[in-house]
Amino acid sequence: MAMGCVVDIIKTKDLVYEYIRRDEEGNVEGITRAVDEVDVAVRPGEFIAIVGHNGSGKSTLAKHINAICYPTEGSVFVDGKDTADEKHLWEIRRMAGMVFQNPDNQIIGQVVEEDVGFGPENMGIPTAQIWERVDESLSAVGMTAHRKKSPNRLSGGQKQRVSIAGVLAMRPKCIILDEPTAMLDPSGRKEVIRAVRALNDVEKITIVLITHYMDEAIFADRIFVMDKGRIAMTGTPRQIFHRVEELKQLRLDVPYVTLLAHKLRKSGVIKSDTTVLSIEELLDSLDIALPVKHESVGKSVNC
């Protein structure tokens, strides 16, 4: 490695992972190549979104970052440490925290603050420091007011923010979230995405967000599009969502507003070729009289 080079927080090299399916007698029935020759590098502080159709290998790739899965071929490095090396296991699990789809499977404490403290407690952190970490973590996800509550009494979005706080309390460098909003209602989804963005912006934590919602992926620095275990496309949200037809072939959508702009461009209403990612950008690209334009912007902000 060159001097002064920043170590990639996540790096995979020719990563291949195969699930071996066996029958009841243990004979091999078949092999599924879930991750196929993946080479990705994520820099510290980046926000990455991974999108792809069901079964494209997103979760399997994510499990390699947290050393839940080990490569069949190739390697994975977290902060320069090879995940296949057993002596790094606990450090890697602490550095790369994972949040899953269902918050009910992740919360074990009877009281919110107790749940958030479990991770550092298991790490043997002294009590005073555990409380410090619980305070900071709950505050970072906006859940301080609920700290004395039973997790059962929280909404889905609040529970998921408690799960994130639990991971945060271990002071990770990187958080991998595997469809954290899939089970939430629209307001819960917004709460969780807001919290995740703040962790990236304010705490500078590297984020890997797996999502089916394209309007969540627009906040990423880069998007990885997966298809059949491979990385089919990478780029900024603007670059990726420009490729509407290719995404359609991969059975993926673009954000609704992007699609609308795309259709308006095709029919000649919008002249500019710049990809639109928000309502404000759509209004800017429409060549309509200014007073109307400003009124519309006001409305869109208020609604």
Among ligand ADP, Mg ion, none, residue 74 binds (CB under 5-8 Å by kind): none
Closest CA to 199 of 218, 176, 217: 176
Long-range contacts (CB closer than 8 Å, 24 or more residues apart) made by 13-16: 13/39, 13/74, 13/75, 13/76, 13/77, 14/38, 14/39, 14/73, 14/74, 14/75, 15/39, 15/61, 15/64, 15/71, 15/73, 15/74, 15/75, 15/76, 16/71, 16/72, 16/73, 16/74
Point out which residues bind Mg ion (CB under 5 A).
Answer: 59
Q: Within 10 A of 138 (CB to CB), how many other CB atoms are there?
A: 23
Q: Does 137 bind ligand ADP (CB under 6 A)?
A: no
Least distance to ligand ADP, CB of residue 130, Å? 33
Closest CA to 78 of 42, 49, 51, 46: 42
What DSSP element (H or E) covers 279?
helix 279-285
Choose between 101 and 158: whose C-beta lies nearer to ligand ADP.
Answer: 101
Q: Does 34 bind ligand ADP (CB under 6 A)?
A: yes
Q: Does 19 bind ligand ADP (CB under 6 A)?
A: yes
Choose between 59 and 160: whose C-beta lies nearer to Mg ion.
Answer: 59
Choose between 112 and 233: whose C-beta lies nearer to ligand ADP.
Answer: 233
Least distance to Mg ion, CB of residue 59, Å? 3
Among 12, 60, 101, 275, binds ligand ADP (CB under 6 A): 60
Among Mg ion, ligand ADP, none, residue 235 binds (CB under 5-8 Å by kind): none
DSSP 273: -
Among 56, 181, 258, 275, binds ligand ADP (CB under 6 A): 56
Q: Within 10 A of 247 (CB to CB), how many other CB atoms are there?
A: 21
Choose between 39 and 295: whose C-beta lies nearer to ligand ADP.
Answer: 39
Contact (CB, 8 A) for 286 and 276:
no
Judged by CB under 6 A, the stretch of 57-65, 87-95, 152-160, 285-293 that binds ligand ADP is 57-65
Least distance to ligand ADP, CB of residue 21, Å? 6
Residue numbers at the binding site for ligand ADP (CB under 6 A) = 19, 21, 32, 34, 52, 54-60
